[in-house]
Amino acid sequence: MLIFCFLHGDVDSLYRFWYNQYDIMITKGGAALIRDILLKFNIDSFAALPDSACKAANERLFSLLPGGCSVIFVLFPYYSGDCNGLISSYGAVYDYHTLAKEVFSALEGYVKEKYPGRFARGFADHSPFLEVEGAARAGLGIIGKNSLLITEKYSSYVFIGELVCSLTEEELDLEGIPTVSAEPRCCEDCGRCSRACPTGAVRDKSRKSCISSLTQKKGDLSAKEAALIKTGGSIWGCDACQAACPYTQKALEKGTLLTPIGFFRDSYIGDRDPVGSVEKMDDCTFEKYPFAWRKRKTVTRNITIIKGNEKND
């Protein structure tokens, strides 16, 4: 479907170029164009801040940016099911970096086409900015006691990425898009995530006992670390603090928790024998999931621990 929009009713000002791949005509500019592109991927949450309102997370990447840029925070809701707690929700769907690459490459292409010579670059994970802090400051959600961004629609089951581009506020034309540069809001600290955490890691700032981190740790584990993984019962990641959050319950009740993004929904491992499904995965399929980052050896080690056959030091 082609999307047509007549800016100010001036037909002569229409851009008549479009990328066939996404069927988008560049008749709009700024935030309206960005929204159209994101909607092609069923992504409906984004907001912008000037880079001066964002905190640096990676000084090297930060120093490579031209300065005076806008930062468009984009949310990737991913919840597709919980694999009965045997694999965390983010681990049970394809790695979001693959989708983020495609989304940001489309955004970069369109911005550069519409505004020749401008800087546009997408980031996911390896970001110049503190993503949770920036997204919360931009009005996309609040910061939870578990350090995650919590949104009203998808709770904390969202990945964050951002497009950094040298468009001015006027060019972005952010009418109707949240742009809040006040201090980020935090959750009400109801304590449910702390009580649900099997290891007390929510209260421990070092997160050393966090099962999600331990399942990703390479190499041999101590007996204590293996016991913590076994307590959690998941072969990759842990959702206990997210699942217990009242925002997750509210999103479930409203029916908004499930991601609208096919990339995630279609790749969900499923509730029926999820561990067996991972064990039987061919290498090509295995490589598409987030746990491939730590190779099959690490995942197999975790499976062995969960099944109770581990030999600890």
Which residues contact ligand SF4 by CB under 6 A?
Answer: 144-146, 187-193, 197-199, 201-202, 210-212, 238, 240-241, 244-247
- Closest approach of Cβ 155 to ligand SF4, in Å? 8
Catalytic residue among 125, 189, 220, 266: 125
Which C-beta is closer to ligand SF4: that of 56 or that of 252? 252
- Closest approach of Cβ 87 to ligand SF4, in Å? 13
At 284 the three-state DSSP class reads: helix
Beta strands in 130-188 (DSSP E): 142-143, 149-150, 158-165
Which C-beta is closer to ligand SF4: that of 23 or that of 125? 125
- Closest approach of Cβ 147 to ligand SF4, in Å? 8
In the numeric block, the tokens 């995965």 are attached to: 281
Among 49, 64, 173, 57, smallest CA distance to 114 is for: 173
In the numeric block, the tokens 């490459």 are attached to: 105
Query: CA of 115: how far to CAs of 26, 93, 197, 251, 265, in Å?
Result: 11, 35, 48, 38, 34
What H or E segment, with its residue span, contains residue 70?
strand 70-77
Which C-beta is closer to ligand SF4: that of 179 or that of 242? 242
Which C-beta is closer to ligand SF4: that of 159 or that of 263? 159
Which C-beta is closer to ligand SF4: that of 188 or that of 287? 188
Handedness of CA 299, 295, 129, 68 (dihedral sign): negative
- Closest approach of Cβ 182 to ligand SF4, in Å? 19
Is 125 considered catalytic here?
A: yes
- Closest approach of Cβ 198 to ligand SF4, in Å? 6
Among 5, 30, 10, smallest CA distance to 173 is for: 30
- What is the SS3 assignment for 23-65? CEECCCCHHHHHHHHHHHCCCCCEEEEEHHHCCECCHHHHHHC
At 103 the three-state DSSP class reads: helix
**Which residues have a catalytic role annotated?**
125
